[in-house]
Amino acid sequence: MSVDDWSIEVKLGCLIEHQKGFAFKSSEYEPSGHPVIRVSNFTDRSIDTSDCKFISPSKVKDFEAFTLNQGDVIIATVGSWPSNPASVVGKTICVPRDLDGALLNQNAVRLSSNRRINQKFLFHLLRTQDFQDYIVGTAQGSANQASITLKAIFDFTLNLPPLDEQKAIAHILGTLDDKIELNQQMNQTLEAIAHALFKSWFIDFDPVRAKLDGRQPAGMDAETAALFPAEFEDGGAIGKIPKGWSVLTLGEMGKVITGKTPSTKVTEYFGGDVPFITPSDMDGRKGIYETNRYLTKKGINAVKSALVPEGSIAVSCIGSDMGKVVYVVRDSVTNQQINSVVVSKEYSNEYLYYDLSSRKFELQNLAGGGSAVPILNKAHFSMIKILAPDSCLLKEFDKTVHSLTEQIFHNDRQTKNLASIRDALLPKLLSGEIRVQDAETVVERVV
């Protein structure tokens, strides 16, 4: 059945209400309070809350018109050109449940549906390649920044199915989204368990303190407890440490590699299958499975000293993205904003991942130095002090968190597959090429 048999052509502006964001002043921001969402907080489909700005709750009533509701669609009206997809103008995201009531900053517009279009369908509609290509095609600006107008958004013409069909399409795609969100929540829980274990063993030293007090470490078998000393000693600059442990530098725990970008003027360097990791690819997941750009063999040869092997730990070391940490899941190249550690065999990449993940603010402070753009260069990065427990204990920690990591990576791979299915179904459902009943069969098989 053709889309013309069950849809009508209409402009987007006839289907929505809108509200542009407010230009909050930096002087209004507080260390905590009521969240303000900026374009820089946008992820691929949602919002990263780790770097939100806040205003005083007492001021919220002054900005009620800019309040976001769960399910609202937001479009970035200012951003980069498609060569930098992480911040591309026209990026479209959906407000998650935990940011219901947040406020919207400038350079974005909030869209909510009227009775002719389903809100969830609206979000999926604006995620299509047709809309993204259209809206970027209307953009104007300089080489470094692009902007789009509200008129361009409103003038987008679409084929609108009946409301029942919209709801059915949104339900199918939403089922895939729900499973993806469940995987992400599960991974957050698994990461929290591993972080809590790391903190207990290597920051709070709970097992050491328990033994010092003559107690059996809680939740720990005797064999594992025996790996912890029962007293502390002086650790120099980092204070008291468990007896027998040492303090090393990052450079002593492995080889430090600073990334490099192949010349973007040579098109043959890009478009291959080797991930090229930049800070914008470091989206809060433990491992990176997809990047915005990939390198060819020629591209790798141009920066072969920057090739980072699987299992390395990569850390963003410049600017506002400072302190992001990821576990490299396959051989990759990073750009110059990232320092990576190829961990020596006698140490633990899991240990180093959780150690550096817990030190974001410390890394930011180390890079401060009064510079307008904070940077932690290779020399300073390599000299960061790291507590090095007994090697047998590191192996036990590796063994303990390995199953958590395997489950995290399994969930990530499944999420990637589900997202591919969703993105393949989306245009076909909207065009009528695939009908709802057939799509339901596909979804039932994978969810």
- Mapped onto helix, strand or coil, the DSSP state of residue 284 is coil
> What confidence tens digit (pLDDT) does each residue in 133-159 have?
999 999 999 988 999 999 999 999 998
**217 Cβ partners below 8 Å, 6+ apart?**
206, 207, 210, 211, 224, 225, 228
Topology of domain 246-388, per CATH? Adenine-n6-DNA-methyltransferase TaqI; Chain A, domain 2 (3.90.220)
Domain ranges of the chain: 9-159, 161-228+393-447, 246-388
Could you report how far apart the first and last alpha carbons of the chain are, in Å? 27
pLDDT at 5 over 70: no
What does the alpha-carbon distance between residue 129 and residue 166 come to, in Å, rounded to a whole number?
Answer: 18
Average pLDDT for 211-224 = 92
Residue position matching structure tokens 């599960």: 186
Residue position matching structure tokens 């809309």: 131
pLDDT at 413 over 50: yes
The structure's pTM equals 0.83
What does the alpha-carbon distance between residue 152 and residue 5 come to, in Å, rounded to a whole number?
Answer: 27
Average pLDDT for 89-111 = 95
Q: What is the pLDDT of residue 372?
A: 67
Distance set, CA 178 to CA 172, 175, 284, 426, 443 (Å): 10, 5, 19, 15, 12
What is the rounded average pLDDT for all residues in the chain?
92
Average pLDDT for 27-46 = 93
Q: What is the pLDDT of residue 338?
A: 96
CA 387 from centre of chain: 28
Bigger pLDDT: 320 or 419? 419
- Mapped onto helix, strand or coil, the DSSP state of residue 207 is helix
Q: What is the pLDDT of residue 348?
A: 93
pLDDT at 20 over 70: yes
Confidence of residue 164 (pLDDT cuts 50, 70, 90): very high
Confidence of residue 370 (pLDDT cuts 50, 70, 90): low
Q: Do domains 9-159 and 246-388 have the same CATH topology?
A: yes
pLDDT at 174 over 80: yes
Q: What is the pLDDT of residue 439?
A: 87
Given a contact cutoff of 8 angstroms between Cβ atoms, the answer to whether 9 and 158 are in contact is: yes
Given a contact cutoff of 8 angstroms between Cβ atoms, the answer to whether 341 and 252 are in contact is: no
pLDDT at 25 over 90: yes
Phi-psi region of 56 (alpha: psi -120 to 50; beta: other; left: phi over 0): beta
Q: What is the pLDDT of residue 303?
A: 94
User: For domain 9-159, is the CATH number 3.90.220.20?
Assistant: yes
pLDDT at 398 over 60: yes
What does the alpha-carbon distance between residue 265 and residue 240 come to, in Å, rounded to a whole number?
Answer: 52
- pLDDT > 90: percent of the chain: 77
Q: What is the pLDDT of residue 1?
A: 45
pLDDT at 368 over 70: no
> What confidence tens digit (pLDDT) does each residue in 283-340 have?
888 998 889 899 999 999 999 999 999 999 999 998 877 899 999 999 999 999 999 9
> What confidence tens digit (pLDDT) does each residue in 196-211 have?
999 999 999 999 999 9
Starting at the earlier edge strand, list the strands of the sheet with 78-79: 78-79, 146-147, 140-141
Q: Residue 66 has which token pair? A: 């800019």
Given a contact cutoff of 8 angstroms between Cβ atoms, the answer to whether 46 and 94 are in contact is: yes
Strands 325-327 and 313-316: antiparallel
How many of the other CB atoms lie within 10 Å of CB of 100? 13
What does the alpha-carbon distance between residue 76 and residue 80 come to, in Å, rounded to a whole number?
Answer: 10
